[in-house]
Amino acid sequence: MAVTLVLRALGLGDVLTAVPALRALRGARPHDRLVLAAPAPMAPLVPLLVPRPAAVELLPTPGLAALPSSPALPALPPIDLAVNLHGRGPQSIADLSATRPRRMITHRHPDHPRFEGPEWRDDLHEVHRWCALLDFYGIPADPTDLELPSPSVPSPAPGAVVIHPGAKSAARRWPPERFAAVARALADDLSDTGRPVLVTGGAGERGLAADVAVAAGLGQDTVFAGHDLAELAALVAGAALVVCGDTGVGHLATAFGTPSVLLFGPTPPERWGPPAGRTRHVVLWAGTTGDPHATNPDAGLLRLTVPAVLDAARTLLAGGEPCRNARKSETVSSSASSAPATSD
């Protein structure tokens, strides 16, 4: 059986933005073993990426330079097609080249002149980027094909409101005291409904989640941090609302159709957020851009106010569609997107 090897050794949001491309590859090569080189924590999500009975296999790959030395790689048959959904190169191209594929799909890079792929474009939405790459090679892909089926495990808190204050870079972290103010207000709103407000975080964000919960006047039992991706995905899939920044959790909300309020900055939402026109997801953006790797919260992100977030959250919880203002409003923008485009 031929093997198609796809490199996307990045985070949760990165893997989810590659879903349309993965499904297009499966459709174009239905009889191949489709192998995704991505971090091991993505394992619970992998069965949801491509509709059954087709399947994707995970090759645990924590990042660049890890693929060529992977102990699982020798167990695979010879690679027929290697697909670079990781970045523009050169290292990602070198990693895939080291697997000795018969053919390669990748963007072009001057360090690897034998691969004549398309030029990298900074202005594309991350989902469209990978669909356009496949289209260049004659494989059509539908960039709207982002939805995931419900996880097989039940939600640990059905109907919860999820507040996720973390983000990979400091530039994308809205201040924790503002998240706490939102959590406190929504908990007060829902006090008679029995619907919980939970504060989530990754393994390294337990302290942040606990601080937000304490500042919001919530108990420690409302902190849902450090759980594996299966539990987090189930929580988001069964939630009534997600409030977060430009993070992987926001992409989970998009994938499961969970109503969400997404706070963008410094990256414009046209690059990473949910598709435009989906009324379950409201993007708040100040209309300015900045350094996504800065060590302080982006100035534009700081222009987003607690009342603006609460207005969008309450309207979504009530089943309505929040009013969307002009593109560069200090409060709400109708565009959709997440972090800077990947490169290596």
Sheet (strand 223-225) strand order? 223-225, 197-201, 161-164, 241-245, 260-264, 281-285
Q: Are 271 and 338 in contact (CB under 8 A)?
A: yes
Please tell me the predicted confidence (pLDDT) of residue 53: 75
- The answer to whether 7 and 99 are in contact (CB under 8 A) is no
Tell me which residue of 221, 210, 262 sits closest to 241, measured CA to CA.
262
CA angle 311, 335, 341 (to 5 degrees): 120
Contacts of the segment 199-207: beta carbons below 8 A, 24+ positions apart: 199/163, 199/164, 199/165, 199/223, 199/224, 199/225, 200/162, 200/163, 200/164, 200/224, 200/225, 200/232, 200/235, 200/249, 201/164, 201/165, 201/166, 201/225, 201/226, 202/166, 202/226, 205/165, 205/166
In sequence order, what are the beta bridge partners of 3?
33, 79
Phi first, then psi, for residue 264 (nearest 5°) are -105, 145
Distances (CA, A) of 148 to 120, 122, 145, 268: 28, 27, 9, 24
Distance CA 59, CA 67 (A): 9
Going by C-alpha positions, the residue among 258, 224, 223 that lies closest to residue 241 is 258
Could you write out the DSSP letters of every residue in 234-257? HHHHT-SEEEEESSHHHHHHHHHT
Those residues whose C-beta lies under 8 Å from the C-beta of residue 221, and which sit 6 or more positions away, are none
pLDDT at 322: 56
Distances (CA, A) of 126 to 89, 290, 344: 16, 18, 15
* Residue pair 76/24 in contact by the 8 Å Cβ criterion: no
Task: Identify whether the C-beta of residue 303 lies closer than 8 Å to the C-beta of residue 257.
Answer: no
Tokens of 174: 């809205």
Q: For residue 104, what pLDDT is reported?
A: 98
SS3 19: helix
Please tell me the predicted confidence (pLDDT) of residue 278.
83
pLDDT of residue 343: 55
- The values of phi and psi at residue 292, to 5°, are -70, -10
Task: Tell me the torsion sign for CA atoms 313, 315, 317, 320.
Answer: negative
| Residue ranges in the chain assigned as alpha helix (H) | 12-17, 19-28, 46-49, 91-97, 126-136, 176-189, 206-215, 229-237, 248-256, 299-302, 306-317
Write the burial class of residue 261 (CB in 10 Å: 0-12 exposed, 13-18 middle, 19+ buried): buried
Determine whether 47 is exposed, middle or buried from the number of CB atoms within 10 Å of its CB (0-12, 13-18, 19+): middle
Cis check: omega of the bond before 90, within 30 degrees of 0: yes
Q: How far apart are CA 72 and CA 79, in angstroms?
A: 13
Q: Which residues of the chain have pLDDT under 70?
A: 320-343
Q: What is the pLDDT of residue 277?
A: 78
Amino acid 336: pLDDT: 32
Q: What are phi and psi of 224, to 5 degrees?
A: -120, 80
Model pTM score: 0.93
Report pLDDT for 323.
47
